[in-house]
Structure 1
Amino acid sequence: MTGGAWRWRGTIDVWLVVAAGGAIGGIARYGLLVLFPRTGTGFPWATFFENVAGSFAIGVMIVLITEFIRPHRLLRPFLGVGVLGGFTTFSTYAVDVVSLVDAGAPRTALVYLFVTLAAALPAAWAGMTLTRATAAYRRNRTARKVKEPR
Structure 2
Amino acid sequence: MIEIICFIGIGGFFGAISRYWVSQQLGKLNVKLPIATFVVNIVGSFLLGLIIGSHLSERITVLFGTGFMGAFTTFSTFKLDIIKLLDKKEQKVAILYIVMTYILGICSAWIGLLIGNYFTQ
Instruction: Say yes or no: does 1:25 pair with 2:43.
Output: no
**1:14 positional shift:** 1.7
Instruction: Say yes or no: does 1:132 pair with 2:109.
Output: no
8 Å contact from structure 1 (residues 41, 108) kept in 2: no
Equivalent-residue separation in structure 1 for 2:118 and 2:3 (angstroms): 34
Q: Which runs of 5+ in 2 are unaligned?
A: none
**1:41 positional shift:** 7.5
Instruction: Say yes or no: does 1:92 pair with 2:77.
Output: yes
> What value does the CA root-mean-square deviation take over the aligned residues?
1.9
Q: Which runs of 5+ in 1 are unaligned?
A: 1-10, 137-150
Equivalent-residue separation in structure 2 for 1:54 and 1:74 (angstroms): 18
Aligned CA distance change for structure 1 residues 134 and 78 (closer, same or farther; 3 Å): closer
Instruction: Say yes or no: does 1:83 pair with 2:68.
Output: yes
RCO higher in 1 or 2 (8 Å CA, sep ≥ 6)?
2
Residue aligning to 1:58: 48
Q: TM-score, normalised by structure 2?
A: 0.90
Q: Could you tell me the percent identity over the aligned residues?
A: 29
Equivalent-residue separation in structure 1 for 2:7 and 2:119 (angstroms): 28
**1:47 positional shift:** 0.7
SS of aligned partner of 2:32: coil
SS of aligned partner of 2:54: helix
Higher mean displacement: 39-48 or 23-32: 39-48
